[in-house]
Structure 1
Amino acid sequence: MARVLIVDDDKNIREFIRLVLEEEGYATVESTDGRDALRKIKEHPCDIAVVDVMMPYMDGISLTKEIRDIYNIPIIILTARGQIEDKELAYTAGTDDYLVKPFEAKELIFRIKALLRRYGTGEEEAPVRLGNVLLYQQNYSIKIGSKTVKLPLKEFELLYLLGKNPERVFTREQLIEDIWGLDFEGDNRTVDVHIKRLRERFRQLSVPARIHTVRGVGYSLEVDE
């Protein structure tokens, strides 16, 4: 499993992130500031860095620049501030993603997994099977026999989540949170539109599964036997 560098001068934040990551099976390396982090990552190569902005000796923006110059790993910036100027500064420095404190543990995990997939450093998961159809999370594709079909990112993530949890009913709110994230500014109709597209793809590709509408609640997927 991937190793995550956690850089934050707040002991409670570091411990919270470490416990969350260890529950998911990740290895961790902790550091209290930017200068110490550069020493730690040299001794213990990491696959991704989670970096706080405000730290003594070397702040998170400066550390991000240093990491980006030396290592080809994804970086997530953590900050208590959410102004657009701070985001611009972080992305200019080379960060890949940005989370404002306080944040949900679940969202941090989603973002870490997404970045590891993008960089090709995450461990490949076994494909999800829907009858004779295989869903490959690594490249957002589905395979039917010898035919491989690429799906748009959000369509695939929605199908993968439903396919990994057959017959489980997801509310629209759960799907929005899991697929689009807590900061999504659209509405629940986005889910309905993507479900409609998936159903059409099921018909076109003869996928042996059905997405059921649970009236007043949300959606579930059932695989045909």
Structure 2
Amino acid sequence: MSNLNILVVEDEDAIREMLMMVLEQADFHVLAAVSAEEALKVLAENRVDLLLLDWMLPGISGVELAKRLKREPGYKDLPIILLTARGEEEDKIRGLEIGADDYVTKPFSPKELIARIKAVMRRSGKLGESGQLSIGDLMLDAEQHRLTIAGKSLDVSPTEFRLMQFFMSNPDKVFSRTHLLDQVWGRSVYIEERTVDVHIRRLRKLLAEFGREELIQTVRGFGYRFSLAE
């Protein structure tokens, strides 16, 4: 992992230094900036594999910087994780809608942060997939392309498998249909948002056979969430 560069953009000294320490202990190479303007200079001069970006920055905000980068051909595929003190679900959805790959709400544990970073890097292909995801008695094996509940296989299509892989990598988080399309189908593919609903219904039907249809929850006005909590 030591060859992966993470740029931390945070104007509060104590938080920035804490983030740098946590990331270096996890064997990442860390670059730092205190503003969006400084971040752009660092990006122009260095290879950056992931951007850890504070929502509220002086001058150009983190949200505005993320929007700008996602419009630039050279940076549109750069993974971005937003750091935010905002707890409202609407704000989190807004962060994902502008193109951020994930968000972490302050305060957060170092362990959670590293797990989120690794999940985003796996999805972007920058970190090797460990192969298996396990939540409760639900098991997903990426290498064998197998999804099981209590040891019994579910007959899912390749798209539904990727959808479950994304959900299981990001439990308890709400994703809009647009974000799911971007992450599961890809930004270069034009597909109607309702296609997501079709695959969600199919997955729920399969999960219902095991009494687990509630694992994929509808959040009215926002999208879908995968969670063990009802």
SS in 2 for 1:106: helix
Q: Equivalent residue for 1:8?
A: 10
Structure 2 distance, partners of 1:154, 1:48, is 33
Deviations 1:48-99 (A, max 9, x none): 1111111101101001112212211111111111112211221121111111
Q: Which residues in structure 2 correspond to 1:20-35 (within 5 Å)?
A: 20-35=22-37
SS in 1 for 2:59: coil
1:150 maps to which of 140, 145, 150: 145
Structure 1 distance, partners of 2:109, 2:121, is 19
How high is the sequence identity, in percent, across the aligned residues?
35
- Kept after mapping to 2: 8 A contact 1:61/1:89: no
Q: Which amino acid aligns with 1:55?
A: L
Deviation at 1:3, TM superposition (A): 0.5
Q: Equivalent residue for 1:170?
A: none
Q: Equivalent residue for 1:77?
A: 82
Deviation at 1:153, TM superposition (A): 9.9
SS in 2 for 1:54: coil
Q: Equivalent residue for 2:142?
A: 141
Q: Equivalent residue for 2:107?
A: 102
Q: Which amino acid aligns with 1:33?
A: S
Deviation at 1:35, TM superposition (A): 1.3
Indicate whether 1:92 and 2:103 are aligned. Answer: no
Structure 2 distance, partners of 1:46, 1:15, is 18
Deviation at 1:180, TM superposition (A): 6.6
Q: Equivalent residue for 1:207?
A: none
Q: Which residues in structure 2 correspond to 1:155-174 (within 5 Å)?
A: none
Let me know the Cα RMSD of the aligned residues.
3.1
Structure 1 distance, partners of 2:63, 2:104, is 14
Displacement over 4 Å in runs of 4+: none
Structure 1 or 2, whichever has the larger Rg, is 1
SS in 1 for 2:78: coil
TM-score between both structures, scaled by the size of structure 1: 0.58
Q: Equivalent residue for 2:47?
A: 45
Unmatched segments (≥5 aa) in structure 1: 128-134, 143-148, 156-178, 185-196, 198-225
Distance 1:45 1:82, change over 3 A: same
Structure 1 distance, partners of 2:147, 2:71, is 32
Q: Which amino acid aligns with 2:122?
A: R
1:59 maps to which of 53, 58, 61: 61
Structure 1 distance, partners of 2:121, 2:148, is 15
Distance 1:154 1:48, change over 3 A: farther
Q: Equivalent residue for 2:217?
A: none
Distance 1:88 1:56, change over 3 A: same
Distance 1:23 1:39, change over 3 A: same
